[in-house]
Structures are given as C-alpha cells and as structure tokens.
Amino acid sequence: MYFWKYWRDTRRGVFVYLGVLIWIVLFWMYAIYRANRLHNIGGDPLILWAMMVGVTFSFVYMCAIVMGLILGTSNVGSDFAKGTAEFLLTRSRSRRYFVWTGWLTGMAELLSLMIVTGFIVVGATAFATGPVWRRVPSPIRFQVDQDFIDIPKMVLAAVLMAALVFGLTYFMSVLLKSRQRGVIASLGILTAYQAVNVILKDWARISLPSLDLMERAYASETWHLSPQVVMLFWAVLALAFPFAAQVALDRKDI
C-alpha cells in the first residue's frame, strides 16, 4: 500500500498545482478574450499553431520542473526527517521496493500532471483561436521560418526533463534524508550545472549536454555531442537516479 501512502503524501501538492494552473489559465483566457475583442486573431494559422505549441510546452516544461522538484521530495527521505523511517522500513518489504514504488508513483503523478497541463492549456487557447491544428497541413512536424518543430521530440524532451528533475531531487532527498535538503541540493546542482555549461561554452567552446533539449546551440560552433547521444545520456541518467537512491538506502543505517 505504499503507493497509496505516496499519493496521500503528495495529493495536496497536486491539488494546489492544479488549482494554481486553472487560475492562471482562466486569467489567460480572460486576457485572450479581451484581446480578441480588440484585435482579430487572424493571420497565418501556421504561426498561430506554432505559438500555441510553444506556449503549451512552456507550461508543460514548467510543470515538469516545478512539480518534479516538489514530488521528488516525497519519498523515504522525507520519512527520515519526520521520524517515521523506522516504522516504514520495518514493514516486511525490501528497501528497494520502497524506493522504486515511490519513484514509479511519483513519475506517474508527474507525467499525468504534465498531460493534464498540456490539454488544459491547448484547450484554453483553442477557446480563443478555434481548432487551429485543423488548418495546418502537418500539425505534428512542421517548419516555421528557421525553426523545425517536432512535437514528438518535444514530448520526449519534456518527459526526460521531468524524469531528470524528479529523479535528481528524489535521489538527493533519499541521500540527504530530508525534503528541504533534497530540494536545495537538487536546485543547487541544476543551477551549478547550467553555470558550468555557460562558462565552458564561453571559455572552452564546449557545450555540455543541455538541459533544454530544444536548444539550438547544436547549430553553433561549440563542440557538442549529437542530439541523439544527448537524449540517450539523459535517459540513462534519469534511470540511474532511482538506482542510486536504492544503493544509498540499502547501505544506510536508519
């Protein structure tokens, strides 16, 4: 029943997120409605659709990062801080079970939230623009000016982003036996990584695998790994985090 416990621990965060999201979206819809009154949202459906896709994925990425950080702290690590780890880990299951069940439940919650977010935002903007995607010849993969927009790739990138942020926070929370320390460490590592990336780009012309998988730095002159390798690297790392959490927990004295 551990996934049930996980859900009980996280449901408030989920509902708050959904509440905030819906509030923002309603406000957004109101703004669009007002804008619609004044200007006609006409124009090139391709550009409109590209904008919608962009906005939707922005929201989805935000969800991945914010909820990845928040959900990533709800695990055995937080039980240590609350003093309930001794109870939990004397239930007759392996410690591995608790790590992986938590990870799977958290990932399921996170991905569900991202999907819901995507639908809500698309739905809300479509409220103003109508089903723009019907007026576009190839809505899944298309090109606007110099940008190639590949929706499946963006979905994959979003999922990887979510898995990375969630996984990193999850691992840190378990390792450091605390929610706060887990989140702070995770944010710290992400920020430091970005900082190092920027520095290396400027000084040594090296691009580390970017967290923003859509980044067009791949077209620039810095040394970089090919996008496929980067994706693979992130995927492996995302799965490595729960393994690392398992190892960390197995070896620990509670």
Partner 1 sequence: MTEYAITTAQLAKIYPGVRAVDGLDLRVPRGSIYGFLGRNGAGKTTTIRMLMCLASPTHGSASILGLQWPADRLAILQRVGYLSEKKLLFEAMTGRDLMRFNRPYFPRWSDEAAKRYAERLEIPMDRAFRKLSQGNRTKLCLLLALAQGAELLILDEPTSGLDPVVMDQLLKVLIEDYAGEGRTIFLSSHNLAEVEKVADWVGIIHQGKLLLEAPLEEIRADFRRVAASGNNLPAQPKAQIFSVASSGSFTEYFVRNDAERFAAGLRAQGAAVLETSPLNLEQVFLQLVKKEEPCISGNIGATPAAVSSSI
Which chain residues interact with partner 1 by CB under 8 A?
1, 4-5, 8-9, 82-84, 86-87, 89-94, 253-254
Q: Residue 231 Cβ, how far from partner 1 at the closest point, in Å?
A: 38
| Position 207, amino acid | S
Q: Residue 94 Cβ, how far from partner 1 at the closest point, in Å?
A: 7
Nearest to residue 38, comparing CAs of 128, 115, 160, 150?
128
Task: Indicate the residue among 8 and 205 with the shorter CB distance to partner 1.
Answer: 8
Task: Indicate the residue among 1 and 219 with the shorter CB distance to partner 1.
Answer: 1
Task: Indicate the residue among 212 and 250 with the shorter CB distance to partner 1.
Answer: 250
Task: Indicate the residue among 96 and 153 with the shorter CB distance to partner 1.
Answer: 96
Task: Indicate the residue among 94 and 138 with the shorter CB distance to partner 1.
Answer: 94
CA–CA distance, 79 with 246 (Å, rounded to integer)? 15
Q: Using only C-alpha atoms, what is the Rg of the chain?
A: 21
Task: Indicate the residue among 89 and 111 with the shorter CB distance to partner 1.
Answer: 89
- Residues in the chain, overall count: 254
Task: Indicate the residue among 95 and 201 with the shorter CB distance to partner 1.
Answer: 95
CA–CA distance, 181 with 170 (Å, rounded to integer)? 11
CA–CA distance, 28 with 106 (Å, rounded to integer)? 29
Q: Residue 102 Cβ, how far from partner 1 at the closest point, in Å?
A: 14
Q: Residue 171 Cβ, how far from partner 1 at the closest point, in Å?
A: 21
Q: Residue 1 Cβ, how far from partner 1 at the closest point, in Å?
A: 5
